[in-house]
Amino acid sequence: MSISELPPKQRRVYDYILDRLERSEVSPTIEEIRLNLNLRSVATVHEHLQTLERRGFIERTRHSPRSITIVRQRETHFGREVPLLGVVSAGQPIEAVLTEEHLWVPLAMCGRAGTFALRVRGDSMVEDHIQNGDIIVLEQRQTAESGETVVALIDNSEATVKRFFRDNNQIHLKPANKAYQPIVLSADRVKVQGVVKGVLHYA
């Protein structure tokens, strides 16, 4: 579920918390939420907070009156803030090393499941207009259809971006550059991490 899909009452609570954190860097108390949103009782506030926490939009530290932290991706009508999780190879697979920054991407690039981004290193996908230094935006998925462009993890250690094709018990990871050869592996060695939904080009 994305922020825009929250029920109106929970969205009001979420937006109020976010606004308070952005303006004062201090989360509101439960009583402040109740008063400012004209909610009937503290119990009602607790219910909304529990639902937001269960759905992964907030975190709370117990036994602290100002303990609410926003943990979900921020979203507007135009875009969403998603994690930029490091670098992926468009060439020979490289060790998957995750870092976490954030950037805004258009909503049209966001998947129904989780969305994340990776910076591309290499030129094996240039015929699909994925250049060295570009950022690819991915829907977090563990499966893909043949022909989709994916980030695949090989042997739980090396990541690469390629076109995905399944042939019985083999996976073909095909480049979009005639200078590179496909990578052919048994299916048990390949784990799909996400399917490419869009590309952000950087000069």
27 is catalytic: no
Could you say which of 50, 70, 90 is where a domain stops?
A: 70
Please report the pLDDT score of residue 22 as a whole number: 75
For 200, other C-beta atoms within 10 Å of its C-beta total 16
**Separation of CA 203 from chain center:** 24
Could you say which of 45, 70, 95 is where a domain stops?
A: 70
Give the confidence band of 91 by pLDDT, cuts at 50, 70, 90: confident
| Residue whose entry in the numeric block shows the structure tokens 């269960």 | 54
174 is catalytic: no
Best CA proximity match to 200, nearest among 135, 138, 120: 135
What CATH number does the domain containing 64 carry? Answer: 1.10.10.10
The pTM is what? 0.64
Amino acid at 149: T
Q: What is the mean pLDDT of residues 55-74?
A: 76
Tens digit of pLDDT for each residue in 145-196? 999 999 999 999 899 999 999 999 999 999 999 999 999 999 999 999 999 9
Q: What are phi and psi of 141, to 5 degrees?
A: -145, 155
Give the confidence band of 76 by pLDDT, cuts at 50, 70, 90: low
Same domain, 22 and 122: no
Q: Is the pLDDT of residue 82 over 60?
A: yes
Please report the pLDDT score of residue 4 as a whole number: 65
Tens digit of pLDDT for each residue in 10-53? 888 988 888 888 777 788 999 999 999 999 899 999 999 998 88
For the chain, give the mean pLDDT. 86
Q: What is the mean pLDDT of residues 82-95?
A: 84
Could you say which of 15, 50, 70 is where a domain stops?
A: 70
Amino acid at 20: R
**Separation of CA 19 from chain center:** 22
Please report the pLDDT score of residue 42 as a whole number: 92
Q: Which of 162, 178, 186, 197 is catalytic?
A: 162
| Residue whose entry in the numeric block shows the structure tokens 């550059």 | 177
SS3 of 29, please? coil
Q: Is the pLDDT of residue 77 over 80?
A: no
Q: Is the pLDDT of residue 203 over 60?
A: no
Please report the pLDDT score of residue 97 as a whole number: 65
The domain total for the chain is 2
Q: Say which residue, 199 or 69, is predicted with more confidence.
A: 199
Same domain, 114 and 61: no
Same domain, 141 and 196: yes
CA distances from 97 to 20, 28, 90, 188 (A): 34, 36, 15, 21
Q: Which of 27, 89, 124, 197 is catalytic?
A: 124
Domain that holds residue 174: 79-200
